[in-house]
Structure 1
Amino acid sequence: MEKVNFFDSELFNKSVEKTFLLNKNKIKMLLPDVDIQHVGSTAIPNSLTKGDLDIQVRVCAEQFPKAVELLSSIYEHNEESIKTDTFRAFKDDTTNPPLGVQLTIIDADFDFFWKLREVLLANINYRDEYDNIKKEYEGKSMDIYREAKHKFFQGLMETPEFKNMISKSNNT
Structure 2
Amino acid sequence: MRERFVLAPDADRARRRAEATFAELVPLLRAILPSEAEIHHIGATSIAGCLTKGDLDIIVRLPAEAFGTAERALAERFDPNIGTIRTADFASFKDDDRDPQLGILLTAFGSDYDFFLDFHRALVTDQAAVAAYNALKARCDGGDMDDYREEKGRFIRAVIASRGNAGASE
Q: Per the shorter chain, which TM-score range?
A: over 0.9
Separation (CA, whole Å) in 2 of partners of 1:137 and 1:62: 39
Q: What secondary structure is seen at the aligned counterpart in 2 of 1:56?
A: strand
Distance 1:121 1:162 in 2: 16
Conserved? CA contact 1:119–1:162, under 8 Å: no
Q: Which residue in 1 is equivalent to 2:12? A: 10
1:98 aligns with 2:95: no
- In the TM superposition, structure 1's runs of 4+ consecutive aligned residues that sit over 4 Å from their partners are none
Aligned runs of 1:8-157 on 2, under 5 Å?
A: 8-31=10-33, 32-157=35-160
Partners of 1:18 and 1:126 lie apart in 2 by 26
Counterpart amino acid of 1:6? L
Structure 2 CA distance for aligned equivalents of residues 141 and 158 of structure 1: 26
For residue 77 of structure 2, give the secondary structure of its aligned residue in structure 1: coil
SS in 1 for 2:161: coil
- Normalising by structure 2, what TM-score? 0.92
> How far apart are the structure 2 equivalents of 1:122 and 1:107?
22
Q: Is the 8 A contact 2:11 2:51 kept in 1?
A: yes
Partner Cα separation in structure 1 for residue 108 and residue 128 of structure 2: 30
Unaligned runs of 5+ in 2: none
What is the Cα deviation at residue 164 of structure 1? 8.8
Letter in 1 for 2:6: N
Shift of 1:9: 2.7
CA 124–33 in structure 1, closer or farther in 2 if over 3 Å, else same: same
TM-score normalized by the length of structure 1: 0.91
- Assess, with a 3 A threshold, how the Cα gap between structure 1 residues 62 and 42 changes in structure 2: closer, same or farther: same
Quote the offset at 1:112 in angstroms.
Answer: 0.9
Cα shift readout 1:63-107 (whole Å, capped 9, x = no counterpart):
001111111001000002110011000001111100000000012
Computed over aligned residues only, the root mean square deviation of the Cα atoms, in angstroms, reads 1.6
Structure 1 CA distance, aligned partners of 2:145 and 2:167?
29
Instruction: Provide the aligned length of Structure 1 versus Structure 2.
Output: 167
